[in-house]
Copies of this chain bind each other. A is one copy, B any other.
Amino acid sequence: MRMLSMATAMATLPLAALADPLPSWNDTGAKASIIEFVESVTDPASETFVPERDRIATFDNDGCLWTEQPVYFQALYAFDVLKEKAAEDPAILSTDVLKAAAEGDMETVMANGLDGLLEVINVSHANTTVDAFQADAYDWLTTATHPTTGIPYAEMVYQPMLELLSYLRDEGFTTYIVSGGGIDFIRAYADEAYGIPPWQVVGTEGSTSYAVVDGVPQLSKDGGITFVDDKEGKPVGIIRHIGQRPIFSAGNSDGDFAMLEYTTGGDGARFGMLIHHTDAEREFAYDREGHIGTLNRGLDEGPGRGWTIVDMAQDWARVFPSD
């Protein structure tokens, strides 16, 4: 019976005791605060224990799980698709923003903020089925390469965040993406890249319709945005899709402020995390100003609210899996 006892003992050892669950995180305060939080909600003897059912963690995507510079990858994809579509039918370039986008003039598009991007996405991602769109997006993400690193976009995910997702899931958490990006686009690769299945992806939604075409049931993307999952929209996306307040949220811009505020405003142990892009050498350095991912209120108020600010240059031993 001795072998049985040993096997039982091995099976009940927490995984964290066997190996470092976050090897790409330096031994700084950020890593310690993550592990301290996870242990405090998973230890049944802890006063702040949370049952598995309620261990919900939500993650922003752009700039939190993967790179968002020089501009959101979905926008770069939309520019490429728009260019292809315009070659077939130039009439679709009906506005200055669309004309600029087709010429790759990102500055003009971004001068119109999120609205400019949505205009491009709206035209380029319409009149296709959800299935065809996702197959095309997946193909682009795994073959087109990033202008500064030269690696495929799908590989520009953050290794430390992959480890954090796995660590949380190993500890009984359910991990969700809650992104301002398009829900269909993220779902095209989230399972493969992050181990997050489609039903755990919340994002911006476009008008979608169902019809039987030539005997085949189809879901089509019709153009037009029906829900923007950004800023105050993120807690709304959470309540629509998850129906329950998370206990852990991670983001990197003020577009995530409301999500972290909502998450950490609940009772019991809560964790808010903001990735601060401080690493111009290995990735990009930006925060208070810029065309994307601006972070002001989070830096000003986050620490006072007990949120963990992750300093990419200091806290991460590695950025991309290929590093």
Contacts and interface: CB of A to CB of B under 8 A. Distances in A.
Interface of A: 4, 53, 130, 183, 187, 197-199, 201, 205, 208-212, 216-217, 219, 226-227, 232-236, 239-244, 258, 261-262, 265
A132 to B, nearest CB: 13
A217 B265 contact: yes
Given A243-B198, A244-B199, A232 B209 contact: yes
Among A130, A233, A239, chain B packs the most CB atoms within 10 A around the CB of A239
Contacts of A227: 226
B265 A236 contact: no
Contact of A235 (B199, B219, B235, B241): B219
5 contacts: A210-B232, A210-B236, A212-B261, A217-B258, A219-B236
Contacts of A53: 197
Contacts of A244: 197-199
A241 B237 CA distance: 11
Contacts of A197: 53, 243-244
A217 B212 CA distance: 43
Contacts of A208: 236, 239-240
